[in-house]
């Protein structure tokens, strides 16, 4: 049997949408994997069905339910929540692990691996899914796992019905949607001792070396410890521009320069992908040696981005978004405000944006001034009315007095004429 046809489980164990069991065609999947030499092929190990022979790099014995690895070079492995025992001999490598529950590793060989991490596939901005119905994953006419957007799944539904037992009419609610992983563009995450302790049960010696988790027999003789060389008090390097400061955990060459490109023209495009808030600053951050971009492995960076303005009345909190080279908002990172800067840590350099989340404005605050204004207007109108009435009464009284005065004078004049 071809050595490259190995198995471990489908890379969907750590996704938001999960299913309790996975069946592909007639295979009750135990695990799935991809080889380093063939990333386009995914192979499955079926429960209660032996795989390979004891002479192969990968051999599954269904009787003892153990997967045996001997000098295997594997790119990606997942156990999809199944209880799994792996026995190792020789030198073995698993680049990325996706474990939904812990596994047991035994044997007298060595194995090194990284922690799980991957990017989800998209087509023209629409997410690509795998589809599960009644605990069975949908396959295409070639009996391979079907991947596509919701639009393409609906368009191909009549063809998929011929090779799958699914309802006559397409209804999105009938299916569990599993975001399809992009194996080629996986993003490495530094493994930690706590991650090994959580997911790996083993009697072997476990260490973290150069970004890899390493398991080896405890009885392997260790090299004589080398004399410790006194380290410089500050082994980091700080690079600065007007808007961005970068602190590398490792010492960098003097010829390395920090290159920061302002991507303000792309804010509107990426704002459409942001769940909430507005992109305030957007930069492409790289390290250059002359005109050449430098990519450093196993390095950690502290990045400080200067905010153009901090309007506490408008924004309640701030976050960093990581944007991939494909233009997808891939990750949200919590930052800390230090003076005029927002500070965060990252293992890689790329496009980063500062997102400001706005405060809510309570309606009651807007209503109070309006009520006060209305009250003032009513008081003012009442005062005008009172003054007007008082003026009218005064004028009428004066006119009455004048009329009475002139009548009295007229009568007096008549009396004087009669006497004469």
Query: Residue 168 has what pLDDT?
Result: 93
Query: Residue 229 has what pLDDT?
Result: 53
Domains of the chain: 23-118+183-216 (no CATH), 237-358 (2.60.220)
Q: What is the per-residue pLDDT across 82-114, written as a single tens digit (0 to 9) for each?
A: 888 999 999 999 888 877 778 999 999 999 988
| More confident: 110 or 9 | 110
Task: Give strand pairing partners of 337.
Answer: 342
Among 11-15, 111-115, 314-318, the range of highest mean pLDDT? 111-115
pLDDT band at 333 (very low <50, low <70, confident <90, very high): confident
Tell me how far apart the terminal alpha carbons of the chain are, to the nearest angstrom. Answer: 158
Distance of alpha carbon 15 from alpha carbon 87, whole angstroms? 27
Among 1-5, 96-100, 176-180, the range of highest mean pLDDT? 176-180
| Structure letter (DSSP) for residue 44 | E
Helix (H) or strand (E) holding 379: helix 363-419
| More confident: 90 or 267 | 90
Mapping DSSP to helix (H, G, I), strand (E, B) and coil, where does residue 182 land?
strand
**Share of the chain residues as helix, strand and coil, in percent rounded to the nearest 5:** 20, 40, 40
Helix (H) or strand (E) holding 158: helix 157-160
Between strands 200-202 and 103-107, the pairing is: parallel
Distance of alpha carbon 311 from alpha carbon 354, whole angstroms? 14
Q: What is the per-residue pLDDT across 138-166, written as a single tens digit (0 to 9) for each?
A: 999 988 899 999 999 999 999 999 999 99
Mapping DSSP to helix (H, G, I), strand (E, B) and coil, where does residue 251 land?
coil
184 and 122 Cβ atoms separated by less than 8 Å: no
Query: Residue 377 has what pLDDT?
Result: 44
Query: Residue 149 has what pLDDT?
Result: 94
- Number of alpha carbons in the 13 Å side-chain half-sphere of residue 108: 2
- Number of alpha carbons in the 13 Å side-chain half-sphere of residue 193: 5
Query: Residue 109 has what pLDDT?
Result: 95
Query: Residue 310 has what pLDDT?
Result: 58
340 and 280 Cβ atoms separated by less than 8 Å: no
Answer whether residue 215 shows pLDDT above 90: yes
Instruction: Read off the pTM.
Output: 0.44
Query: Residue 364 has what pLDDT?
Result: 32
Considering the chain, what percentage of its residues have pLDDT values greater than 70? 80
179 and 16 Cβ atoms separated by less than 8 Å: yes
Mapping DSSP to helix (H, G, I), strand (E, B) and coil, where does residue 233 land?
coil
Comparing 31-35, 36-40, 44-48, 282-286, the range with the smallest average pLDDT is: 36-40
Helix (H) or strand (E) holding 374: helix 363-419
Residue 3: phi and psi, rounded to 5, are -65, -30
Cβ neighbors of 300 (< 8 A, separation 6 or more) are 190, 248, 249, 345, 346, 347
Query: Residue 298 has what pLDDT?
Result: 76
Query: Residue 220 has what pLDDT?
Result: 52
270 and 350 Cβ atoms separated by less than 8 Å: no
99 and 117 Cβ atoms separated by less than 8 Å: no
Q: For the residues 291-301, what does the mean pLDDT come to?
A: 82
Distance of alpha carbon 197 from alpha carbon 20, whole angstroms? 24
Among 12-26, 94-108, 152-166, 283-297, the range of highest mean pLDDT? 152-166
């Amino acid at each position: 049997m071809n050595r490259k046809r190995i198995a471990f489980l489908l890379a969907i164990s750590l996704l938001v949408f999960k299913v309790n069991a996975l069946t592909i065609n007639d295979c009750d999947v135990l695990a799935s994997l991809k080889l380093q030499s063939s990333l386009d092929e995914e192979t499955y190990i079926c429960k209660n069905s032996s795989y390979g022979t004891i002479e192969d790099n990968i051999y599954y014995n269904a009787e003892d339910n153990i997967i045996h690895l001997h000098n295997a070079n594997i790119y990606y492995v997942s156990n999809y929540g199944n209880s799994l025992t792996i026995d190792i001999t020789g030198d073995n490598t698993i680049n990325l692990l996706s474990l939904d529950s812990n596994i047991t590793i035994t044997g007298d060989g060595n194995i090194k691996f990284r922690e799980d991490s991957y990017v989800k596939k998209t087509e023209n901005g629409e997410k690509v899914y795998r589809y599960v119905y009644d605990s069975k994953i949908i396959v295409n006419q070639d009996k391979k796992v079907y991947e596509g957007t919701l639009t393409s799944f609906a368009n191909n539904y009549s063809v998929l019905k011929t090779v799958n037992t699914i309802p006559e009419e397409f209804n999105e609610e009938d299916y569990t949607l599993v975001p399809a992983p992009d194996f080629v563009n996986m993003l490495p995450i530094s493994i930690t001792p706590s991650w090994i302790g959580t997911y790996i049960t083993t009697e072997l010696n476990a260490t973290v070396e150069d970004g890899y988790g390493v398991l080896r027999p405890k009885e392997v003789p260790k090299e004589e410890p080398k004399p410790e060389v006194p380290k410089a008090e500050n082994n980091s390097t700080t690079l600065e521009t007007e808007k961005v400061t970068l602190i590398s955990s490792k010492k960098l060459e003097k010829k390395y320069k920090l290159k920061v490109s302002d991507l303000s023209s792309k804010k509107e495009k990426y704002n459409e992908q942001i769940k909430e808030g507005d992109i305030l600053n957007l930069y492409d951050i790289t390290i250059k040696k002359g005109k050449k971009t430098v990519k450093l492995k196993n390095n950690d960076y502290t990045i400080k981005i200067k905010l153009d303005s901090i309007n506490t009345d408008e924004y309640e909190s701030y976050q960093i978004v990581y944007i991939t080279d494909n233009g997808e908002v891939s990750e949200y990172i919590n930052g800390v405000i230090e003076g005029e800067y927002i500070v965060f840590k990252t293992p890689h350099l790329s496009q980063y944006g500062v997102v400001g989340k706005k405060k809510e404005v309570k309606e009651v605050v807007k209503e109070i001034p309006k009520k006060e204004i209305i009250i003032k207007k009513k008081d003012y109108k009442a005062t005008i009315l009172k003054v007007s009435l008082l003026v009218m009464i005064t004028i009428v009284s004066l006119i009455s007095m004048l009329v009475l005065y002139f009548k009295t004078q007229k009568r007096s004049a008549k009396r004087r004429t009669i006497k004469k």
